[in-house]
Structure 1
Amino acid sequence: MSSFARTDGTSDSADVRAARFATRAMFLVCGTVTASWAPQVPLAKARLGIDDGVLGLTLLGLGAGAMVAMPLAGFLASRFSSRVVTALGGLVICLSLPLVILAPDAPLLGLALFLFGAATGSMDVAMNVQATAVEARGTKPVMSSFHGMFSVGGLIGAGGASLLLGLGLSPLLVAVVVSGLMLVLLATQAGSMLPPERRPAQSGMRFTLPRGIVLVLGLLTFVLFQAEGAVLDWSAVFLHDARGQDPAVAGLGYAMFAVAMAVMRLAGDGITSRFGGETVVRLGSLLAAAGFLLAVLAPWPVAGLVGFALVGVGAANVVPVLFSAAGRVPGMPPGLAISTIATLGYCGILAGPAAIGFVADHVGLPMALGIVAALLVATAAAARAVRV
């Protein structure tokens, strides 16, 4: 049984139920708006007339903004209110998306993406702090369903923006439609999140350096985000180059991964409640490792698709359990602990794919993906870290 929710048979209060719904809405907002930028990337490249190298540099602004903002957001969420930081982050995400589309040159695009990334990182940390508070006040694990709504938002954002662009809407109009709809959801639900807990005046919050178990949880998050980045950036390349699939089929690798992850996260609260966080981390990491190994070792193209879907099934609920564990670390404010592992996770999803490319240049892409599988096995071995 999970160790982070009450199981005494009592039901959740009305304010907890409302906060749970509102927090799911925040995850949906964040996932939808951020993912809606993905179909716009090639259009921005063509409009500005920049090459891949310049585009890559401008896209670094998004990750840099997130990593700079995350530690500060964690401190502010713990010191003041995760509700306020979540709402403000969501507001800036929605308002900055059209600015990204309007950027007239590469430097201003990078600056707009830095703002967009900072808002995304701030909201990401703060809504996870809110999620740990909702889970602590409730009677059962709920973190996986929160992250599941982020995954659903990603599917809605990327798919919806692609559909609207395909119907002939301009990139700016698509951004305005997405941002406008999400602003309505944000405005109607933000007030239902839990307010900050009252703290004794003498226990003023101080900025505390992460240490011990938080760093362990952060390293595990790094591995899981690196695995996600590997599928995002390298699954299509692997299926095309190593398995001879045409680009349309090769792109299904990530699609199957994303759908599998969304479905498993929506079912993850029940799984975590039944088997416990440690088992979810151990078996989920092993299952994800098996997915990578199936993809790279089995010679049949369909095995690659099944393998990447299996990675999504296994990895889906590991990160939510790690975030829940970080929020329960004694002696450290939840905001600081969560911002630490979130920042390390972003390092994994940003630096991991580049490292895979470097290794692939020397030993081949199948071996590089095999190393990711080995790191997931090591994560399974360290699953006891969630016992906090």
Structure 2
Amino acid sequence: MALFFANGATFATWGIHIPTIRERFGLSDAALSLAMFAVAGGAILVMGRLGRQVARLGSARVSMLSGVLFALATGIILLMPSFAALLGLLVLFGIANAGFDVAMNAQAATVEAAHAHPIMSMLHGMFSLGGMAGAALGGWVLSLGVPPEMHVTAVALLTAATALLTRPLLLPDAIPIDNASTTDGQHRRMLLVLGTLAFLGLLGEGAMYDWSTIYMRDIAGAAAASASAGYAVFSGGMALARFGGDAMRKRLGAPRLLTWSAWLAFVGMLLAVALPRPWSALLGFGLMGVGAANMVPVFLVTAARLPGVAPAEAIANVARFAYVGMLLGPVIIGAVSHASNLRAGLGVIAISMGVIALCGARSIRPAPAEY
């Protein structure tokens, strides 16, 4: 819980300082997009090999090492002397975050395997809570006039301390290192299916981050002061649903939970697109957040339980598709919106949720039946 919370809070710290970076370097929209791409690009760059390295070194050790590196990159992100140096650091930031992410989730799969109840959704809820807390606390600190450099340094120290102090409490990985590369054709196909589903799920989530506020203002007709409520409702629904997701997975089973979640997200986006009014868009975005909340935890748990595959390697394979979906989602929605309109663009999210609802449960049914 501490590691997931720290990861969410640290990533949120980078997010709230994007305007600081833009102002400091006088960046255009294109240059700022390049900086954001560097973070995702760094993660995608190493994801292919990251799983094997985590399996070889152990998720506990990599959680500590990548957590400290992530903290270091965060602490010096505002000290870069040039935009080129900043881009290089952001690639490192993305790599460290990816390592932290994969190692945490592999460790979570190990803990859940030894636990009496599901816990993966709750841990992802802690990430969401950390992101909300990091953004809120960061905004408050900056409003007091605290220098941005001091803020990121404080967050970096807390994250590094969390990574170091939790290391002795983590468990050895459940699957021996010797099994890390024994993936047969069937399991590779299963990973490809899970990755495709994760791509579709994160395509919608990534698009919501960038387009929900614009939709509320330009299409739904919300006042400028309340336009950001769409993203807030989406994020709040996601956080709340994750804390209830483990109980639902134990009660319903992973396939049924995934189906119900995807249909809920589908209905939410369909409502927001079909009735472009502030109230209907808010309700739709809230349903989308609740529906999307437990998709990634289900995909990761299913991947981690594939026999003969190290959890870290399986998680990294699925996470690579998820990162690409998160990265391309806003771009795809923007392209469709340019060719048609934003309602059609967000309709793509509804279609992706419908595909998961129709195909997802059948795809993850080989997972162990306990929960």
What amino acid is the match of 1:104?
A: P
Partners of 1:199 and 1:227 lie apart in 2 by 35
The answer for the alignment partner of 2:345 in structure 1 is 368
The answer for the alignment partner of 2:191 in structure 1 is 214
The answer for the alignment partner of 1:118 in structure 2 is 95
Provide the secondary structure at the position in 2 that maps to 1:109.
Answer: helix
Provide the secondary structure at the position in 1 that maps to 2:78.
Answer: helix
The answer for the alignment partner of 1:58 in structure 2 is 35
The answer for the alignment partner of 1:180 in structure 2 is 157
Deviation at 1:69, TM superposition (A): 2.4
Provide the secondary structure at the position in 2 that maps to 1:35.
Answer: helix
What amino acid is the match of 1:206?
A: S
Deviation at 1:170, TM superposition (A): 1.0
Deviation at 1:366, TM superposition (A): 0.5
2:293 counterpart of 1:313 = no
The answer for the alignment partner of 1:166 in structure 2 is 143
2:221 counterpart of 1:234 = no
Matched residue count: 363
- 2:166 is aligned, of 189, 214, 220, to 189
- In the TM superposition, what are the counterparts of 1:1-388 in structure 2 within 5 Å? 24-197=1-174, 199=176, 203=178, 205-206=180-181, 211-382=188-359, 383-387=361-365, 388=367
What amino acid is the match of 1:32?
A: A
TM-score under structure 2 length normalisation: 0.94
What amino acid is the match of 1:334?
A: P
Provide the secondary structure at the position in 1 that maps to 2:309.
Answer: coil
Deviation at 1:177, TM superposition (A): 1.4
Partners of 1:109 and 1:376 lie apart in 2 by 36
Of the structure 1 ranges 233-242 and 327-336, higher mean CA displacement relative to structure 2 is found in 327-336
Identity of aligned residues (%): 37
Partners of 1:246 and 1:118 lie apart in 2 by 39
Structure 2 CA distance for partners of 1:247 and 1:108, relative to 1, 3 Å: farther
Provide the secondary structure at the position in 2 that maps to 1:271.
Answer: helix
Q: Do 1:236 and 1:247's aligned partners in 2 also have CA atoms closer than 8 Å? A: no
Deviation at 1:182, TM superposition (A): 2.4
Provide the secondary structure at the position in 2 that maps to 1:37.
Answer: helix
TM-score under structure 1 length normalisation: 0.90
Q: What RMSD in Å do the two structures reach over aligned CA positions?
A: 1.6
What amino acid is the match of 2:19?
A: P
Structure 2 CA distance for partners of 1:307 and 1:121, relative to 1, 3 Å: same
What amino acid is the match of 1:68?
A: L
Partners of 1:369 and 1:286 lie apart in 2 by 16
User: Which sections of structure 2, spanning at least 5 residues, go unmatched?
Assistant: none
Partners of 2:306 and 2:36 lie apart in 1 by 34
CA shift digits 1:311-355 (9 cap, x unpaired): 111111111011100001123222221101101000001011101
